[in-house]
Structure 1
Amino acid sequence: MKFFVTAVVSVVLLAVSPVAAKQLGSFKDWSANAEGKGKSLTCWIYSEPVKDEGKYTKRGQIYSLVTHLPGEKVTNQVQFTAGYTFKKGSAVQVVIGKRKFELFTSGDSAWARNKKDDANIVRAMRSGAKMIVTGVSSRGTKTKDTYSLSGISAAHKAIGKACKVK
């Protein structure tokens, strides 16, 4: 549960207070930010897909996010926000090169099941060229989002430095 709560906190920080966030830089297709001090320090990188596919008429904001919350001892927390509510009990598939990962869903977001999976996904992201994320909406609409991973290593390094995370 704590894992889920920290993910929600990350998204809330991103959504409600971008003015207070310090932009650490834009690195090709990824951006890096930090906010807060001490135990409330949060650092994150994010990107939007370069291509989104699916037979939908309306879709909200779509993005991928990797967050460090050093005060909570959380690093490399991976999250995908789909811009729609996922089908209850469905899983999201993430493909990076030959690596495949399955994430659990809640509401409009998907997360890795544990810290080890987070670390493996981030490792694959840093060494990959593109990432494909597929999911199913509550209405049964299948989507496929393609992300460029160009710049993710530099962006990830920037938040590691800002949050003092290796």
Structure 2
Amino acid sequence: MMLILLGVLILHLLILILLIVSTAASAWKVGGDFSTDLWYKCAATNGGVHCTSASNEDWIQAVQALMILAVLFCFFSLIAFLYQLFKMVKGGRFYFTAIFQILASLFVMCAALIYTVKSPDDTSVSGYGYAYVLAWVAFPLSLISGLIYIVLRKKE
């Protein structure tokens, strides 16, 4: 039982790290000398890198908010798991933790979908970057983690 709990905890920490990196990293879309993320658009110039703020459009602000909510709900889910692990009665299920983790999963999925649909097609951008991919990887992992928490029971 201890190995299962340790495995679930490591999976949860991995998901939290993926969400933080995908939210903060500047590689949602990349090109030869151009990259954009949720916060900045950066272009390499002959004298260095020039970064400007992301647009003030509603869709990018929605993606920013959803990614921040995903990180927060994943963190709150981790805190709830640790609390329930030590305070919950024997035989109880981790429903509260599961709800927070599934909500984090839905938030990151919605953010990535909005970014996919609404991000402008730019000729200097060659494709999606690693932060975008990490967000999509974090989505099924957090959903699976939430489902594991629903099934998981606290044993002696």
Q: TM-score, normalised by structure 2?
A: 0.28
Q: Which is strand-richer, 1 or 2?
A: 1
Q: Higher relative contact order at CA 8 Å, sep ≥6: structure 1 or structure 2? A: 2
Q: Which is helix-richer, 1 or 2?
A: 2
